[in-house]
């Protein structure tokens, strides 16, 4: 291989491992009547395929377009989707195995957190397309709104007390009880 060429194997390995873990844990945790929300295996397979497609397209764009930021953002979005899917299915599997503890809650929390970041990266890619930077005030404002909204949403996901939205609906492992008392 030419020493001047950039390669992306570590991201491909991460994506393949995350997709595989997601599908395997999704198969292990699938149940017809769970006591909590378990993502159906076919849906897990579809999400894993979509995440891999994001990684593939992002890799191609980043490599063929000289490190185009849109490619890197799509690649990042796909990787985050897959890591979040793996964390979420781990949390579901762990809770389904009778371990309703901090680890299953962390899996659900990580799922929410990474998917929020992935969505922000995917939308930011649209603002940078096709010229590598926003060309209008609206494009620049959109990037500021995306960054601000994502930061607020990530803070809320991190510190909000009470049950998590996904998985076994366990209490947020990082929630701050005092935040829930604020009117």
138-159: per-residue pLDDT in tens? 888 999 999 999 999 999 888 8
Higher pLDDT, 136 or 23: 136
Q: What is the pLDDT of residue 46?
A: 84
Half-sphere exposure of 178 (CA within 13 A, CB side): 0
Q: What is the pLDDT of residue 25?
A: 72
Residue of 73, 93, 117, 75 lying closest to 167 (CA atoms): 93
Q: Is 40 helix (H, G, I), strand (E, B) or coil?
A: coil
Q: How far apart are CA 64 and CA 44, in angstroms?
A: 30
Q: Taking the model in full, what pTM does it have?
A: 0.80
Omega into 130 within 30° of 0, i.e. cis? Answer: yes
Q: Among 106-110, 133-137, 176-180, whose mean pLDDT is lowest?
A: 176-180
Q: How confident is the model at residue 33 (pLDDT cuts 50, 70, 90)?
A: very low
Higher pLDDT, 34 or 161: 161
Q: What is the pLDDT of residue 32?
A: 47
pLDDT over 90 percentage in the chain? 15
pLDDT over 70 percentage in the chain? 81
Dihedral of alpha carbons 46, 47, 52, 58, sign:
positive
Q: Among 98-102, 112-116, 140-144, 146-150, whose mean pLDDT is lowest?
A: 98-102
Give phi and psi for 133, each to the nearest 5.
Answer: -155, 155
Q: What value does the mean pLDDT of the chain take?
A: 80
Quick check: 30 pLDDT over 80? no
For helices 102-128 and 137-159, the axis angle rounded to 10 degrees is: 180
Q: What is the pLDDT of residue 39?
A: 65
Per the structure block, which two tokens stand in for 179?
């935040």
pLDDT tens string 61-87: 888 888 888 988 998 999 898 888 888
């Amino acid at each position: 291989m030419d020493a001047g060429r950039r390669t992306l194997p570590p991201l491909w390995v991460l994506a393949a491992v995350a997709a595989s873990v997601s599908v395997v844990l999704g198969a292990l945790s699938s149940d017809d009547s769970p006591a909590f929300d378990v993502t159906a295996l076919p849906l897990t397979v579809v999400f894993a395929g979509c995440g891999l497609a994001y990684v593939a397209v992002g890799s191609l764009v980043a490599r063929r377009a000289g490190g185009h930021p849109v490619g890197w953002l799509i690649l990042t979005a796909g990787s985050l989707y897959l890591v979040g899917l793996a964390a979420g299915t781990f949390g579901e599997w762990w809770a389904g195995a009778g371990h309703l503890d901090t680890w299953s809650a962390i899996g659900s929390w990580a799922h929410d957190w990474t998917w929020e970041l992935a969505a922000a990266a995917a939308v930011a890619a649209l603002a940078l397309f096709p010229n590598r930077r926003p060309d209008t005030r609206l494009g620049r404002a959109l990037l500021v709104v995306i960054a601000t909204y994502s930061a607020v949403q990530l803070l809320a996901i991190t510190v909000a007390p009470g049950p998590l939205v996904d998985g076994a609906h366990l209490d947020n492992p990082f929630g701050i009880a005092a935040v829930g008392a604020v009117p």
